[in-house]
Structure 1
Amino acid sequence: MLTVVSPISIVGHFLHWSEAIIFITAGLAIIPLAGFMGTATEEIAVVLGPNLGGLMNATFGNATELILAFIALKSGLVQVVKATLSGSIIGNLLLVMGFAMFLGGLRYKEQNFQPTAARLNASSMNLAVIALLLPTAVQYTSTGLTDNTIQTLSIGVSIVLISVYLLTLLFSMKTHSYLYDVGMAENETEEEETPHKPNLVLWVGVLLIVTLGVAVESELLVESLEKATEVLGLPALFTGVIFLPIIGNAAEHATAITVAMKDKMDLSVSVAVGSSLQIALFVAPVLVLAGWIIGQPMDLNFNPFELVAVAVSVLIANSISSDGNSNWLEGVLLLATYTVIGLAFYFHPAIEGLR
């Protein structure tokens, strides 16, 4: 149903409709496009095999968020980009994993997943928090620092994070892939029962078209963002941290929740936590480097309250997932934390503008 919204936002743009209408319709249009992008990526991954396919899934896992954030960065909305990045981490760890554990827990009394992989992911998330925290700490505890100094520091940290991300891919797909095979066992059994040979040319074409569609809708969303938030009465920080990440992550949200309700909690946790890791270790550093290249500086000096929210999210997510077991109450705890954080961002007047 949401696929029909895409033409509406494009028509509205050319007919100069209200910015609020364009903003809402463009946001809704991105949701099914992100779903198609995920499906196309998975189909192509089947043809490429486990190694190349896994790499492609990892690379395109957050393509929607990366496209949306890059267009916002190109438009000079640096504060929105930073808020969206922190919001994506918070949303995946609390909202997505919370709903997955809650709804899965209603159908199954307890659900299990690989605790070793969960602890490794927790350690990686701790590194991400440290890497995001330190540039901000340097800024707030020093005097006389120039923007170029923080930018240079952020570039160095970004290179380290991307290197760690590549090493985590090597670890999970090659040297220690057996730690991550548990969650995929049922999928492999299903594929053996019903052999599936996707049409590579078809799905590559779909991926290219959908990627173009996401870029167009993201452009419309960003163009209408400033005026639309004023008309709708949405606080700037709340829009970036809560609203935009929900749009960009909608397809992954649905996937994680669906597989959890099928008692595939390994895969569900992998989607939720893996997406947060991609944002922190890959998407954020890539945007810092991209901003440097295109002459639109972006650093890792985040709003302190955003970092507090990210740290709290990582803390409770790591605490709940470390034992490799989940139930509906743990899901409620994650959702409650997300609700409290959302309310705090709604009333926090941290950003007067979006740039």
Structure 2
Amino acid sequence: MSIKKIISFGFLVFLPISVMAEYLHWGAIAIFATCCLAIIPLASWLSTATEEIAVVLGPTLGGLMNATFGNITELIIGLVALNAGLVEVVKASITGSILGNLLLVLGLAMFLGGLRFKEQEFQPMLARTNASVMNLAVISLLIPTAVNFTSARIPESEMQQLSIAISLVLILVYGATLLFSMKTHSYLYDVGVTEIEGEGGNPEKVNLWLWIAVLLVCTVLVAIESEFLVSSLEEATASLGLTALFTGVIVLPIVGNAAEHTTAVTVALKNKMDLSVSVSVGSSMQIALFVAPALVLGGYFMGQPMDLNFNPFELVAVAVSVLIVNSISSDGRSNWLEGLLLLATYVILGIAFYVHPIT
């Protein structure tokens, strides 16, 4: 049985345990911990359901399906936290999801894949395209932060308007990336599509309605678990001696990205580095171009304003991550040492976020 299946089935035991912890008042730490563990298999099932439905829908609609639901767990957790007024935690989780996918997921994939295969290859043109998109992500976070830093006192309403405008541009760019990958330059992604279909199954054997039901049920359950998690988050993290910044950047993204972690590493061990890079970097791109703008717009309509003015240290961390990933992936080759460099960067940043004081 694969690691992903073990996680998908084994960790489901924490679903009823987390409900018991909530309604029997076991305490904030117990609720927070069991909810985190319960969300991990739900995220995995959401990922599996999306992949199976995508196989039936075909390359174009399937690609759109993956693009829409690929990070639905992070989006749901973010919206629930935003509704609770935990804006800084939501911002930190956006930063953490980008860091986690670029450094932890891709790093593990390159390191473990490199131990099994001396050198692995992926398309350098895709790496360059991904690098350009991630540079845009850094710019989209840099501009509002720079405007705020260089202004005597910019009103929150104007920062909100600036963030909404940037978010709309990012969503348009995200739409353009989908057009690029699924239509005008789809041939560049043929390897990834073939491998995804191989990992999925035969369209004729996929029970479409079953997987649609799984998708809907898991979405509802993730929303419920997110409510429990968010309600216990502040008290639990305070009891554990963790800051909201560290929790948002390190803990929540690991929970939400569990499915991407296992998929990227598994395919790397099969010497399918094209797909591994596509999963990890593609997820970061989706966070930056779709999830973050969606949360900004969602916060506006929910009456919980959120902007793109991030903590300067978060911005530095994202910029450093994009820089080292672009440097390592530019030649279209990877090995275990390059994976280790990404993991080391993630550990260093994790330690820094742990000791970073609350501002």
Say if 1:293 and 1:220 are closer, same or farther in 2 by CA, change over 3 A.
same
Q: Show the counterpart of 1:198.
A: 206
Structure 1 match to 2:227: 219
Q: Tell me, what secondary structure is at the counterpart of 1:49?
A: helix
Offset of residue 190 of structure 1: 7.4
Deviation at 1:182, TM superposition (A): 2.3
Structure 1 runs of 4+ aligned residues shifted over 6 Å read: 189-192
1:26 to 2:41 alignment: no
How far, CA to CA, are the matches of 1:143 and 1:212 in structure 2? 44
TM superposition shift of 1:183: 3.0
What's the counterpart of residue 115 of structure 2?
Answer: 106
Percent identity at matched positions?
Answer: 69
Q: Shift of the alpha carbon at 1:326? A: 0.2
1:184 CA displacement: 3.4
Indicate the residue corresponding to 1:36 in structure 2.
45
User: What is the rounded CA distance, in whole Å, between the counterparts of 2:192 and 2:169 in structure 1?
Assistant: 29
Residue of 83, 89, 96 corresponding to 2:92: 83
Deviation at 1:200, TM superposition (A): 1.0
**2:170 alignment partner, one of 139, 161, 174:** 161
Q: Deviations over 1:188-241 (max 9, x none)?
A: 56779x675211111111111011111111111100000000111112211110
Distance of 1:226 and 1:190 partners within structure 2: 39
The one-letter code of the counterpart of 2:39 is I
Matches for 1:1-355 after TM superposition, within 5 Å: 1-188=10-197, 196-351=204-359
Change (3 A) 1:302 1:186: closer
Q: Which amino acid aligns with 1:340?
A: I
CA distance in 2, matches of 1:152, 1:126: 22
Q: Which residue does 2:7 correspond to in 1?
A: none
After the TM superposition, which of the residue ranges 99-108 and 135-144 deviates more from structure 2? 135-144
What's the TM-score once normalised by structure 1's chain length? 0.96
Partner AA of 1:80 in structure 2: V
What is the CA deviation profile of residues 69-114 of structure 1, one whole-angstrom value per residue up to 9, with x for unaligned ones? 1100000000000000001001100000000000000000000001
Q: Distance in 1 between matches of 2:295 and 2:145?
A: 17
Structure 2 residues not aligned, in runs of 5+: 1-9
Note the alpha carbon deviations across 1:147-184, whole angstroms, 9 max, x for none.
Answer: 00000000000000000000000000111011111233
Letter in 2 for 1:249: N
- Alpha-carbon RMSD across the aligned residues, in angstroms, is 1.3
Report the alpha carbon displacement of residue 12 of structure 1 after superposing the two structures with TM. 1.2
Q: Paired residues, what number?
A: 350
Q: Deviations over 1:295-323 (max 9, x none)?
A: 11000000000000000000000100111
* TM-score, normalization by structure 2: 0.95
Is 1:93–1:273's contact at 8 Å kept on the other side of the alignment?
yes
Cα distance in structure 2, aligned partners of 1:330 and 1:183: 22
